[in-house]
Every structure is written in structure tokens, then in C-alpha cells.
Structure 1
């Protein structure tokens, strides 16, 4: 039986530990530091010859991490790894999925080419798919998308009394409906007009569906939090209970957490795809199942 080893990029150790435990896999150590000129030094601390290696990387602020990620994959192959897969719960560079202005780099495609050349397969959680229907439109390797909806719905069902799931915009309808269906509660969505990164106008949904219930605002990414904070304020102004805010990926740029607190959010929670104090929903079990499926498929390719 092929040995499975899990190795993490710096900052992803806790996530890698959970994945390894659920895979019943060994952890592989990694030494990492910076030379005085800023270049990265990497050393794989354990043997990987013949192993199925899983690299776990939580890619918030990806630019400083990507060179090390590519170098690590290359080193693992040179050291004899049978296959090298990537678990990136948060998949960056999905925003720029077309050329909006002449001369722009379509970085989603460029990043996909880098990852596809370095790894045998990819596991991620709810990537931000807008103009792409699926990851295989840009990734040349098998890519498994782990849905967060079951874990989010389970948390809502267990922790929130009489919830109603609220989406921040029409684009969230399909996902919001799935979470609500799994949680056994109603749902609705708000309408959003974006005039700029920080200038967002939102229209309230049908308030009849929200009466007597706790609004649970759900979104795939909490980045600047301006959209979610505006929704919290709007719901409060309409006389509803303070909203619980749930995000899959806790990017939390700048003062996002403070912004939600000031808006009056009752609670802010996220999945553990990116490390953050708000992490309360564990999706690593589903990620481990996806890894098993990818490893099995890789052995027969």
C-alpha cells in the first residue's frame, strides 16, 4: 500500500494536521526560512520516495507564497514522490476571469497554468466561479470542488434559533437556497448595486419571510466586508434581529472584522479554509474525502 504524507506550507500547519488526522496519514516536516535577500529556503525534512504527497496551502495573500509552493512541488518530485497533490481550501486568482480592459492579464488562467504544471491534482472549497462554469475550463489537472453548504447548514441548524438564510445579492441565490434546504429553513436574497469596491447599494428582500426569525447572512468570501456590513445595517434598520454573518473564506482585508462589529452583527463565523479567529465551521473532513478520491484516481491514470 502506498504511503500518504501530508506537508504544509508555512501558516497552514493546523489545517494540514486536521487533514492528516482524517486521512490517517503521516505528517512530513518542512524547514522554511528567508535568505537575507528575501529568497526562500526550503528543505523537506522527511523521506517521500514513493509516497503520495499532499501539500496543504492556505493562500491568503498568495503572492509571497506562490514561489515556495511551486518550488516545494518540484522538490517533492525530485525526491521521488509518486504523486504530488495540492489542497488549497481557498483558491486565489479567480477574480480576474476575463480581460475587462485591453492589455490586462487574465491572472486566473495564468495561475491555473502554474498549478497545473506543478501538481497532479487539486482539492479546493467553493472557488469563486463567476464567468467559468467549472475549474476544468482553466485547470488541466483533475480539480475537486468541496461544497461548504452541508457544513454551513449543519452549523446553522445546531446554533441558530429560527433562522432565515439571507444572501447579499442575486448571484448567491443558488447557494443560499442549498444551505437553507439542508438547514430546513426559509431563505431570501438582497439586491446589490455596486458603484465601486466600497460603494454598494442594497435593496432589502421581502421582509415577511424574515419576521420572527434570526437573519443569517451567508457569502462565499468576506473580504472588505462592506457588502455584508451594509446588509447587517439594512436589516437592523428594518427592525429585524441582529444578523449572524457566515462566510466560507475569511479573507478579512484591512478593518473588515471591525466593520461588521460596528454594523451590529450578532456573530461572525467562517469555515476553516483560511485561518482566522472567526473559524467555527470545519470542512476538513470533506476535504479529506476528496483527497482520497483524487489519490485513488491518480493511481489508475
Structure 2
């Protein structure tokens, strides 16, 4: 089946790379806002009987969801054989239970909505906490890419004597995997969260790694409070300046600059969300999966 790729606004670089790697057609579409804020969609390429791949990372999802939905529905009405959404960052995964009476379980609602207008979903390391797989809430075929391979390779070739540091017990499984592949030791922080912006950190057994470069790894860097608190502890213990690595760099408010102010040597992310910190590419992994559709 012929494939044609469309970039939602802000996803042009990744879409161009994926289109070239898959030897596919680059689709043309107009997506803009009317003066009243409503979304205008026009597909200018022939999509009939083709697999339409819509590339749209879903940070700040509320602004992106309607254009994505409208583009998918328009492609179907114009004869597309099937629709695949490539969302390197998948939003609304954290609210996976009703923590307080009256709350909405928005991860399930979002999954139901996405499943209603696409045939396939490809994403990178979604925040699966209390769920074992996306199939618990998504009713379409979903494929997950794990960034551990590209992270470990980057660490192995760019950092001398790395010590991987996981943010909490939940991260131990994938941090240990990255450490193993990078041939590096790792430790897991002991963390007590007192609120959205207040975290108490304990760094166990750090004394034996004084000659290593700490590498703080997390799946999502949002407020960066955990990393900033950890940097402070490492500094007090006389450790080298750490390298901070995240799969998904959301960087809420001033989080990115705050990390450097706190004493980070470098802040590195995968290109799942476009940002100046993108140094680790996941293009090849995504392209391989798309070729199998």
C-alpha cells in the first residue's frame, strides 16, 4: 500500500525525515485558524487508497486534537485506505485512576477519542504507570517504541564513566535496562513527593561513584523539580556536574533554564517533542515500524 505523510504544525522536521526514510510521498495540506479561532482544513494531495500517516506529537494536546481529528476525517472522506497517527509523545497518560472523588479518568477518555478516528497508533515510551499496556484503554492496534536502545548508545559514546540515576522505584526497570546496554552502573533515588513542586530526595550509595559522571534519566521532564533537587544533592556530595536526559522534554515554564541554573552540565532529550535540547533521534525506529504497516 502506498504511504503519504502529513505533518501537523510543528512536526515538519520529523515528518520530512520519516517520509525520506520510508521512501514515501510527502502530503500537502492547509491547516489554519479562522479569525474566530475555528480550524480550517484542506488536503491538497491525492490520498485515495493510500495509508495516510499523520505525524503529531501530543504535548499541549488540547490545541492539537481538533486539527488532528479534522485532518483524519477529511482524509477518510477523500478515500484514504487507512489512517496511522504517529504521536511520539502521547498525552493524557498520567490520570489513570480516580485519585479524588469526582475526578475524570482522562487517560481512558482520550484513548476512546483517539481510537474513534484512526486505525493505528505509534508512540514512544508512553507513561504506563498503573496500566500494563495501551490495549487496556485503546481499541485500535498500538505499537510502542522503547527509547532505551538509542539512549544507551548516546550515553555509551558521549559520556565517560557514566553513573545512571533513576528518579524513583517506578523507573528502575527501564533505567537498569539503559544502564545495562550502556555498560554502566546505576542507582535509584528514594523520593518523597509533597506536592507538584516539592520533592524530597535521598541518594543512596553515592560515595563509591565520586569519579563518575552522574546521568539523570527520566521518561518525562516536565517541571524538572525532581532533577533539580537531585542536582543539589549531588553538588553537596561533591559529585561532578550531571548530564540530564529525558525521553520527552515538556519543560513546563522555565524548567529547561532552571536545570542549567541548578548546575546541570547538559540537558539532552529525544526528538519526540521539538526542542533545542533534542540530541537523540528516534526517527529510524519509527520509520521501521511504519514500513511494516
TM range (shorter): over 0.9
Partner residue, 1:65: 64
Classify the secondary structure of the residue corresponding to 2:154.
Answer: helix
Q: How does 1:1-301 map to 2 (within 5 A)?
A: 2-293=1-292, 295=293
For the residues of structure 1 that align with 2:154 and 2:12, how far apart are their CA atoms?
24
Aligned length: 293
Aligned-pair distance for 1:29?
Answer: 1.1
- TM-score where L is the length of structure 1: 0.96
Classify the secondary structure of the residue corresponding to 1:249.
Answer: strand
For the residues of structure 2 that align with 1:231 and 1:21, how far apart are their CA atoms?
40
The C-alpha deviation readout for 1:244-290, integer Å capped at 9, x for no partner, is: 00000010010101210111000000000000000000011101112
Aligned-pair distance for 1:192?
Answer: 0.7
Greater mean deviation of Cα atoms: 14-23 or 48-57: 14-23
Change (3 A) 1:209 1:50: farther
Partner residue, 1:299: none
Answer whether contact 2:57 2:89 (CA < 8 A) is retained: yes
Answer whether contact 2:210 2:238 (CA < 8 A) is retained: no
User: RMSD across aligned C-alpha pairs, in angstroms?
Assistant: 0.9
- TM-score where L is the length of structure 2: 0.98
Answer whether contact 1:226 1:259 (CA < 8 A) is retained: no
Classify the secondary structure of the residue corresponding to 1:49.
Answer: coil
